[in-house]
Amino acid sequence: MTVTYEDAKQQLLDAMLDHVPFDGWSETSFREAIADTDMDEGLARAICPRGAVDLALAFHARGDAAMLERIKSEDLSGLKFRDKIAAAVRFRLQAVPDKEAVRRGMTLFSLPTYAADGAKAVWGTCDHIWTALGDTSDDVNWYTKRATLSAVYSSTLLYWLGDETPDHQATWEFLDRRIEGVMQFEKFKAQVNNNPLLKPFLAVPNWLAGQVKAPTRLNVDLPGSLRPKN
């Protein structure tokens, strides 16, 4: 049986997760993972040129994949769209096997050197959610939906890390409040746009937003995007 680079990366990740709670996503943990898998160090470095950072991102990607599988397997057809979004965020957090691995990951991606990687990972999660739920926007809304959900997801993640309530009930209530806040803002914008007396106040912001176009889905590489380039 041929072992692919991806298979080997997953083996390293599984081994490293045993060490992350103690040594974080660090070079020490990476070396321990190499030793635990009896993998040639040169091969391990070829698979993960940045060592622990690449495995931290692989851990995040594994959670995204689990979330997408659950979105596909669950019947969300009877839910309002806002509730579908809340369910997807909940699925993503429930896909995490160990909070400590996430805490350690946040420590890693808070470092200036890796902050862009962390932001790209979050953006990618939110892009996956919108795409899985059938988003077809092709204008500035493509960006604003993902940017808004990134803010909701990030704040909910922080709340979840400190939540000790049964089944994380407090987190899901917090998530609902955050989404409700976004919905109220969108409702306010719609009311302003429909009011002839207030609409002029949004003329300039709307014009600026109109100058921004969403990417052609086949030829733009955005943070977290899996779309191929031409």
Q: In this predicted model, what pLDDT tens digit does every residue of 136-178 receive, in sequence order?
A: 888 788 888 899 999 999 999 999 999 999 999 999 999 999 9
CATH code of the domain made up of 76-210: 1.10.357
DSSP assignment letter at 95 = T
Please give the Cα distance from 40 to 211 (Å, whole number). 52
Residue 215 CB partners (closer than 8 Å, separation 6+): 142, 222, 225, 227
pTM for this structure? 0.82
Angle between helices 140-161 and 203-210 (to 10 degrees): 100
Tens-digit pLDDT profile for residues 92-139: 999 999 999 999 999 999 999 999 999 999 999 999 999 999 998 887
Closest by CA to 55, choosing from 117, 13, 96, 26, is 13
**For residue 147, what are its two tokens?**
């940017």
Contact predicate 222/119, CB 8 Å: no
3-state secondary structure of 58: helix
CA torsion, ordered 183, 189, 194, 198, to nearest 10 deg: 150
Residue whose token pair is 């689990």: 66
CA 127 remoteness from chain centre: 8
Domain boundaries defined on the chain: 76-210
